[in-house]
Structure 1
Amino acid sequence: MKSSQSSPADGPGTFDHGGGVRSLRVPIPDNPLGHTLVYVVDTDRGPVLIDTGWDDPSAWEALTSGLAACGTSVEALHGVVVTHHHPDHHGLSGKVREASGAWVAMHAADAAIVRRTRGTRPERWYTYMADKLTAAGAPEEHIAPLRTTRTRRRTLPGLAPALPDREIVPGEFLDLPGRRLRAIWTPGHTPGHVCLHLEEEHPARLGGHGRLFSGDHLLPEITPHIGLYEDPDDDTVTDPLGDYLDSLERVGRLGPAEILPAHQHAFTDAPSRVRELLAHHEDRLTGLLALLSVPLTAWQVAERMEWNRPWDAIPYGSRNIAVSEAEAHLRRLVKQGRAEAVTGSEPVTYMAV
């Protein structure tokens, strides 16, 4: 259920959650999510941010004006804790550090992605994605733009993300004087996604165990994208959906009094939301099995899966994300022994067992 504990602070898009925790709405340009909720946590050495928002002038303006409405500033920040490496969370971290001298902390698995992203030429990513889509059975007209010089020169977000200077260690308290904020490793949305458990009494004395900054892991009304962990230089067969489902159960057992997510709004009853998400993904897996009564490529599976709009209306980039999500579900079914790749098929097709 939606939390009623949040109240407006001194500015639009700024909310006081009590107990030295506030949130700022930082816009994401041209994205249906609208904004990232960036949290400001007071500590004995100054305020610390949980995530920073997209690297865009409008986002920077929202961040700086929001901090001013909270009675502080970018220059006063002590640190930045990044839930995961995606640009709507980590995008402004470098700019914040330049302005304040604040440290930036991230889980080692996502820090490795940041290092790889900075060191990989855009052309390598386009080639990698073209090869991946070919293997997934995508039609040539979809792959062709990735091979053109014009497309290769496009500017992609997050190609030079800030390198973190501190590591978030799962299970340990972060170095935040005066606060008890424990890192909970929750891979799935990304390999190094973390939730942050504020192990302090809820300011409104809600029943449960503290508050959970859930990043994109646990959201009140939508499900995060769970796709393959993309790495051009690593062919390890990962199971992101399995990671996510295991992480969900772990968070449900924490029993926090309130969840403070990175999108939408604060809410309560984490165990109930976890059960809904577990059921949702099992329904998707069951539906996918029904599709696999005949051999299908990952692209054909994605075309037939249920999305928030018809396949023909899904934009180009979003189709790539949908295929990655279909592949993550196929990986889970194969690992469970409920489906298998058809021997000798090229591109690879899958069937229910």
Structure 2
Amino acid sequence: MKSRRRPYAEQRPHDLGGGVWSVPVPIPGNPLGYTLVYAVESPQGPVLVDAGWNHPDAWDALSGGLRSLGFDVSWVRGVVVTHFHPDHAGLAGQVRDASGAWIAMHENDAELVRLMSEYAARDHDDFQTDMLRRAGAGPAEAGQATGARPAPPATPDRVLRDGDLVDLPGRKLRAVHTPGHTPGHICLHLEDADRLFTGDHVLPGITPHIGIYPFDRDDVDPLGDFLASLDRIGELGSIEALPAHEWIFQDVATRAAEIRHHHEDKLEHLHALLAERAEPLTIWEAAAMMTWNRPWDDLSPMLRGMAAGEAAAHLRALEAAGRVGRLAGVDPVRFHALDS
């Protein structure tokens, strides 16, 4: 039986044994509630797995939580970021300022951070609006669904590749490249204790957002990458998973298989929707017909934009599998089923 997701107010720092601790760090105004930041012991100071959202309340929770466990944030040796999203990488720069720690992330996400740092906010808004228009959103919806862009995270000092060992004296913490949620998402296998920090790749009660940006790209397949990454994590067996959200759980392989089946069902349902339509669908139309955690009409403009990104990833996976085609030379882009 799965645990209940507890609100942030009920969360406390915990000693998880074996030289690993967890610190819940709030995400203000976000239904996820908090990020679980982990500290891994080493003789030269703890290394953090993720750092939390860049907000004063989050900083107080992280630094105070470490203090309650017997650490000072100034002792932190390094921060390994599972992926560049702001609820994971946001405070890494502040930790570095306080301690001199290094920051590491996968080379693919490090490149995205660099590009984000060079991209003006106005250019970002124009890019988002045009991307939504090409997906089939009307002008009003395209303008409303963009949302504010968080400040780019701190540029990492070190990059990791699949199989690299993290600089963690006395321990064996290995990066496992698990793209999908982001191109450079990593899980971290603590091999000396056979525990897996899963970031957002495998969560116990929800599935991570898998989108494609821009929506109409045809040169990448993030959902296909994600499903392959799930299979790879499944090969690790029934080890303990330490995710970035919700709760710690046993048997990562079983949960990875459940998430794969969830997306396989969505792919079959989407293909059936396309097959029964007389006319090809835009990404926006497909998203409006898919099943989400609430009805399409109840989704905010920002959530509709995220749903469209996920619909685009599913359409692209079907296209890569030869089950869906896109019409050439049309704007907005449209997709149709290729088999029954």
Q: Fold match, TM over 0.5?
A: yes
Task: Tell whether 2:191 aligns with 1:199.
Answer: yes
Distance 1:116 1:235 in 2: 18
Contact kept? 2:218, 2:316, Cα under 8 Å: no
Check if 1:267 corresponds to 2:249.
yes
How far 1:2 moved relative to its partner? Answer: 5.5
Determine the structure 1 residue equivalent to 2:199: 215
Q: How does 1:271-310 map to 2 (within 5 A)?
A: 271-293=253-275, 294=277, 295-310=280-295
Runs of 5+ unmatched residues, structure 1: 4-10, 202-209
Distance across 2 between alignment mates of 1:155 and 1:131: 16
Partner residue of 2:174 out of 182, 187, 191: 182
Retained in 2: the 8 A contact 1:211–1:256?
no
- The CA distance in 2 between the partners of 1:236 and 1:343, in whole Å, is 12
Gaps of 5+ in 2: 4-9
Deviation per CA, 1:106-163, whole angstroms, max 9, x where unpaired?
Answer: 11100001100110001111111111111100012112347xxxx9xx8531x23101
Give the Cα separation in 2 of the matches to 1:108 and 1:262: 20
Deviation at 1:247, TM superposition (A): 0.4
**Who is 1:8 aligned against?**
none
For the Cα contact (< 8 Å) 1:2–1:265, is it kept in 2?
no
Q: Kindly state the Cα deviation for residue 229 of structure 1 after the two structures are TM-superposed.
A: 4.1
Name the aligned partner's letter for residue 239 of structure 2.
Answer: A
Cα pair 2:2 2:205 within 8 Å, conserved:
no
Contact 1:2 1:266 (8 Å CA) reproduced: no
Give, in whole Å, the separation in 1 of the partners of 2:88 and 2:143. Answer: 31
Rounded to whole Å, the distance in 2 between the matches of 1:38 and 1:142 is 36
Alignment of 1:74-85 (within 5 A): 74-85=73-84
Structural mapping, 1:102-181, within 5 Å: 102-145=101-144, 156-157=149-150, 159-181=151-173
Distance 1:12 1:250 in 2: 31
CA distance in 1, matches of 2:300, 2:291: 15
SS in 2 for 1:40: strand
Contact preservation (8 Å) 2:131, 2:214: no
3-state DSSP of counterpart to 2:36 = strand
* Residue 315 (structure 1) aligned with residue 314 (structure 2): no
One-letter amino acid matched to 2:317: R
Q: Tell me the alpha carbon deviations over residues 253-287 of structure 1, each in whole angstroms, 9 at most, x when there is no partner.
A: 01252000000011111221111111110100000
Give the stretch that moved more between structures: 191-200 or 236-245. 236-245
Instruction: Give the TM-score normalised by structure 1.
Output: 0.89
Indicate conservation of the 8 Å contact 1:212/1:256, yes or no: no
| Contact 2:144 2:302 (8 Å CA) reproduced | no
Q: Which amino acid aligns with 2:233?
A: V
Deviations 1:163-212 (A, max 9, x none): 100111211211110001011000000000000000123xxxxxxxx000
Deviations 1:192-248 (A, max 9, x none): 0000000123xxxxxxxx0000000000110000001459xx966210000000000
- Where does structure 1 differ by over 3 angstroms across 4 or more consecutive aligned residues? none
Q: How many angstroms does 1:342 deviate by?
A: 2.7
Give me the whole-angstrom Cα distance separating, in 2, the residues matched to 1:93 and 1:195: 17
Computed over aligned residues only, the root mean square deviation of the Cα atoms, in angstroms, reads: 1.9
Counterparts of 2:12 and 2:201, CA distance in 1? 22
**TM-score, normalising length from structure 2?**
0.93
Deviations 1:294-347 (A, max 9, x none): 211000011111001111111111111110000000000001011111345431
CA distance in 1, matches of 2:322, 2:93: 44
Cα 1:145/1:306, change in 2 over 3 Å: closer
2:321 is aligned to 336
